[in-house]
Structure 1
Amino acid sequence: MDIESFNKFAKTEYSANKKLLQKLKKVKNKVLDEMFESAHEEKFKKIDCLQCANCCKTTSPIFLQTDIDRLARVFRMKSSEFMDTYLHRDEEGDFVLNASPCPFLNEDNTCLVYEERPKACREYPHTNRKNMHGILDLSLKNTLVCPAVLEIFQDFGKEFRK
């Protein structure tokens, strides 16, 4: 599926996924974590992020101070210079990129700073972590960005309709 088709489909499925979210919130913590981890493993055996990179093209990770310091060293800059060049504070007070797509995204969808990328990039789309209850709302938002997350929700929706 191309990104334009994905974006359209994800938007049409959002209200159904929002309803599904209410059902997922009732699932026990450990069971929910296991559901997501298993689904994550299955999806990422089939999906190649380098074919998509929609996350890098449309959203910004949150940059922690450790991310800023590490990337500043990569570019041989002071942390303050890195922040002035690439980042601003969003409405929640987090450091995020000034613009999309990510300035470190190469034309072939690889990452210029892959080995040193921010923690949020390393963990994205956050579907294989513990305490999924704590990030279900974020996961719902990620159905609009990541085809794998959308597919996970689609699969869960089928399960809950049985």
Structure 2
Amino acid sequence: MEIDLKNFNKESKSEYSSNQKLKARLKKVKPKVLDEKFEELHQEAFREIGCLDCANCCKTTSPIFLNTDIDRLARVFRMKSSAFIDEYLHRDEDGDFVLNSSPCTFLGADNKCLVYEDRPKACREYPHTDRKKMHGILELSLKNTLVCPAVFKIFQQIGKDYRK
């Protein structure tokens, strides 16, 4: 099932301020309870939404490339790490290595990652909604409601319990 990204973009932006308020309420939830709720809703959302049907993260944002990611991908392309950086990456305003352009250079026309087995750590962990210590990444998760339909769905679902 292909995701209507235009509609998602419009809806996620219209709900953003509401989700900001929800994020503030979620900070008051006990950490273990919040982690369990996110894990449950993560599983539920990804039973319904397939990454290959969307790939909006790969189309619109760049992961942060750690040195280990750069070295690994440079080996895949039989390049020196410095050459990989020169060809594909630049430093953002925070000093992190990110892609020069979007959509991701390594995204295939079928939404499959051309370097999937060797993809950066940030891509492996995205959208970070199935991990522990969600309190620490609520701001990131809020931002991801604008990128990932699954994260948006998680916020919509969790909001049923914590929105007032």
Per the shorter chain, which TM-score range?
Answer: over 0.9
Q: RMSD in angstroms over aligned alpha carbons?
A: 0.9
2: distance between equivalents of 1:146 and 1:92?
Answer: 23
Of 70, 73, 95, 1:71 maps to 73
Query: Residue 113 of structure 1 corresponds to which residue in structure 2?
Result: 115
Q: Does 1:84 align with 2:86?
A: yes
How much has 1:161 moved relative to structure 2? 3.8
TM-score of the pair, normalised by structure 1: 0.98
* Mapping 1:18-97, distance limit 5 Å: 18-97=20-99
Q: Is the 2:56–2:148 Cα contact (8 Å) retained in structure 1? A: yes
2: distance between equivalents of 1:114 and 1:31?
Answer: 32
2: distance between equivalents of 1:156 and 1:45?
Answer: 16
**Percent identity over the alignment?**
74
Query: Residue 131 of structure 1 corresponds to which residue in structure 2?
Result: 133
- SS of match in other structure, 1:133: helix
Of 126, 140, 143, 2:142 maps to 140
Which 4+ runs in 1 deviate beyond 4 A? none
Unaligned 5+ segments in structure 2 are none
Q: Is the 2:144–2:152 Cα contact (8 Å) retained in structure 1? A: yes
2: distance between equivalents of 1:105 and 1:19?
Answer: 34
2: distance between equivalents of 1:114 and 1:131?
Answer: 26
What residue identity is the alignment partner of 2:142?
A: L
TM-score of the pair, normalised by structure 2: 0.97
How much has 1:158 moved relative to structure 2? 1.3
**Alpha-carbon displacement from aligned partner over 1:112-131 (angstroms, at most 9, x marks no partner):** 00000000000000000111
Count residues in correspondence. 162
How much has 1:157 moved relative to structure 2? 1.1
